[in-house]
Amino acid sequence: MDNSSQLAQYILSGLSNGAIYALIGFGFAIIHNATGIINFAQGEFVMLGGMLTIFFLVFLQLPIVPAIALAITLATVVGIAFERLAIRPLKNAKPLSLIIITIGASIFLRGAAMLIWGKDTHALPAFSGNDPLYIAGATILPQHLWIFGISILIIILNKAFFNFTITGKAMRACAYNSYAASLVGIDVKIMVLLSFVISSAIGSMAGIIIAPLTMTSYDVGIMLGLKGFIAVIIGGMSSGLGTVMGGLLLGLLESLGAGYISASYKDAIAFIILLLILFVRPEGLFKKKETQRV
Amino acid sequence: MFRSGWRIFFVLVITMFMAGSVIAADPIKIGALLSVSGPAAFLGEPERNTAQMLVNEINKAGGIKGRQLELIVIDTQGDATKAVQGVNKLIKDDKVVAIIGPSTTGDSMAVIPIVEKAEIPLISCAAGIKITDPVKKWIFKTAQNDVLAVARIFEYLKKQKINKISILTVSDGFGSSGREQLVLQSKEAGFQIISDETYGPKDTDMTAQLTKIRGGEAQAIICWGTNPGPAIVARNVKQLGIKLPLFMSHGVSSKKFIELAGDAAEGIILPSGRVIVANQISNKELQKKKLLSYINNYSKLYNVEGDHFGGHAWDAMMLIKGAIERGGGNPAAIRDQLEKTKKFAGIGGTFSYSPQDHAGLTKDAFVLVQVKNQAWTLVK
């Protein structure tokens, strides 16, 4: 095994993990941009996606496609309930209080999942087989292609939605200045609700496509949520390319660090990056400094 | 309405008193400190289920010498602080005569000084060698040592003429204790460790570590961890097209591992107690009858197969039962009788305690099993 194929393997593994981080990061960005809060329950939607799919697949014996569709729908309903019951009643609360509420919600969702589905880890069958594919001396699984494909699709849809539809533009308007947006007739409440819908749908989708690789359990959301959070911090809270780059960068650094330095430092690398970014460039690596964001 | 409520209450109280007087003397209280929830729940849950099942069976059969058993379970949540609080409650409030558990080595080490001081016999269900080495007067254990598991694998490797290995261990208590033994014993056996990698208990991708191992010249990979990590390792090994034989620890010797790893589990070899291959072992073995009845009774009651971990509690419970039958129900007598236990065939192995050995097992407690067609097969 020569060095170049070893490097190729690190890069490929890094990119595929990075795509997952980016997808989870999106959920953070969308809610942050609509409401100004960071939803720390985002990881729990990733968990819900995977666990609900397994629930429908194994316990209700549904075929895979309806199981996935139902899982995303139900996770989205949970997202709506979360916004209506925990976020909206406190409309005038400070962002900090809301962020603490999201942490509470994440503990609640995790606990509920533990009580309903137990503490076991579950594996979802791969969408199209487990036979590895060889690329430049490195190997990936067909499931990785699904992850890449769905991530790219979601990125494009996102871009199109926020740039070319009235609703998407209205959501962006709320992000810049919700008061001004309400003056021109945009229903801010609906936009906030919509941001929870989109981000819980994306989060659960991410949870479903990675479940065949990483497996899933009631507490899988903590670490994945944090990694997604780091991706979006590197990307400067953007719901576009910044977060994608942030996720890929994080995945690459983790995998190269684990390969060439030591795997014991894998998580340490991620958190050191997070701290460095927060200290040095809190606005993200790929963003020009914005003066209106005070 | 209110009045009739009171009447029912009194009737209930009176019946309870009467029922109490029918059941002979006061019950023998046995404490159980188990990590029923939290990260080590995969140990504590089957252990609690098994202990409760046995107590019910014993009581139904008339108890021990006519006295009923009472099991008081305390959930340590795998947290040493809670274990210490729990053990104090068991000793001071409940006045138990013996304790089974804790489930993890960390919890066990935390409660040992208290139990030693209170002079109550304790049979730990954790594997760490430190628990009974050096020997402590009141402390016994049933789980097999890592030392024995590693010895069993190395014995097999020597037979296969393999002496270059790579190890991949999880960075928690179980993994680091396993790693220690792997490094130590490979020095003694003259094995060369090509790469010594670790992974985090919550990691979801180990391809980086395995790519490094693939690049080296190891002849076998040994992975030491508990679910779900090793299942991911198995899948990553298959993904990377690594053809080296893969060994695991006894930490994954349950059906769950095969279920999680799927096809990637094929061919993996690991040391395990006999419980997962109970129907394949020779009829001559002392343990066979007990293993089969344990598996049957457990699955009848809980709808899942009884495993290796529940077996630790089975052994602890039955050892205490034996000691009470022989010596009586006070802590000192139980301890003395425990130490005299010889050739007790349980789930984890055949136990013989002595004043010098409170672990009671030899490396024969382990057999090697291999995954074939999604099931465990005994390696002969």
Is the pLDDT score of B311 beyond 60?
yes
Asked if A9 lies within 8 A of B205 by C-beta distance, the reply is: no
- Residues B119 and B193 placed together within one structural domain of the fold: no
- Residues B133 and B163 placed together within one structural domain of the fold: no
* Residue of chain B minimizing CA distance to A221: B202
Q: pLDDT value at position A197? A: 95
Cα gap A272→A226, rounded to integer Å:
13
Domain for residue B378, yes or no? no
Residue of higher predicted confidence among B350 and B11 = B350
Please provide the average confidence, as pLDDT, over all residues in chain A. Answer: 88
CATH of the domain at B216: 3.40.50.2300
Domain for residue B376, yes or no? no
Contacting residues of B for A264, CB less than 8 Å apart: 171, 198, 200
Asked if B241 lies within 8 A of A132 by C-beta distance, the reply is: yes
Tens digit of pLDDT for each residue in B50-96?
999 999 999 999 999 889 999 999 999 888 999 999 999 999 999 99
Structural domains in chain A, sorted by start: 3-280 (1.10.3470)
Q: pLDDT value at position A120? A: 80
Q: pLDDT value at position B20? A: 47
Q: What's the DSSP call for residue B67?
A: B
Domain for residue B369, yes or no? no
Q: Which residues of A110-120 are buried (b: 16+ CB within 10 A; e: fewer)?
A: beebeeebebb
Given pLDDT bands bounded at 50, 70 and 90, which one contains residue A177? confident
Q: How far is A263 from chain B (nearest CA, A)?
A: 6
Mean pLDDT for the stretch of residues A173-202: 89
What angle separates helix A64-82 from helix A188-214, to the nearest 10 degrees?
A: 140
Is the pLDDT score of B1 beyond 60?
no
Q: pLDDT value at position B13? A: 58
- Residues B61 and B112 placed together within one structural domain of the fold: yes
- Residues B268 and B186 placed together within one structural domain of the fold: yes
- Residues B137 and B196 placed together within one structural domain of the fold: no
Of A139, A215, A263, the CB nearest to B228: A215
Cα gap A70→B366, rounded to integer Å:
45
Is the pLDDT score of A147 beyond 50?
yes
- A92: Cβ contacts below 8 Å, ≥ 6 apart: none
- Residues B258 and B151 placed together within one structural domain of the fold: yes
- Residues B327 and B298 placed together within one structural domain of the fold: yes
Output the CA–CA distances (angstroms, integers) from residue A150 to A19, A144, A207, B180, B296, in the order listed: 10, 10, 12, 43, 46
CA angle A101, A107, A112 (to 5 degrees): 125
Domain for residue B373, yes or no? no
Output the CA–CA distances (angstroms, integers) from residue A134 to A130, A145, A149, A224, A239, in the order listed: 13, 12, 18, 27, 32
Asked if A13 lies within 8 A of B207 by C-beta distance, the reply is: yes
- Residues B105 and B160 placed together within one structural domain of the fold: no
Is the pLDDT score of B179 beyond 50?
yes
- Write down the residue that tokens 């590693």 correspond to: B150
* Residue of chain B minimizing CA distance to A268: B200
Domain that holds residue B43: 10-144+290-362
- Residues B256 and B304 placed together within one structural domain of the fold: no
Q: Taking the CB of residue A125, how many other CB atoms lie within 10 A of it?
A: 15
Of A120, A213, A259, the CB nearest to B208: A259
Domain for residue B76, yes or no? yes
Domain for residue B284, yes or no? no
- Residues B173 and B229 placed together within one structural domain of the fold: yes
Q: pLDDT value at position A292? A: 43
Tens digit of pLDDT for each residue in A26-52?
999 988 888 888 999 999 999 999 999
Is the pLDDT score of B5 beyond 70?
no
Given pLDDT bands bounded at 50, 70 and 90, which one contains residue A291? very low
Q: Which two tokens stand for residue B166?
A: 């790579």
Number of domains into which chain B is organized: 2
Of A13, A123, A130, the CB nearest to B259: A123
Q: pLDDT value at position B22? A: 47
Please provide the average confidence, as pLDDT, over all residues in chain B. Answer: 89
Given pLDDT bands bounded at 50, 70 and 90, which one contains residue B183? very high
Mean pLDDT for the stretch of residues A253-275: 86
Domain for residue B314, yes or no? yes
pTM value > 0.90: no
- Model ipTM value: 0.81
- Residues B324 and B352 placed together within one structural domain of the fold: yes
Output the CA–CA distances (angstroms, integers) from residue A34 to A72, A173, B203, B271, in the order listed: 21, 9, 32, 54
Is the pLDDT score of B6 beyond 70?
no
Domain for residue B3, yes or no? no
- Residues B154 and B128 placed together within one structural domain of the fold: no
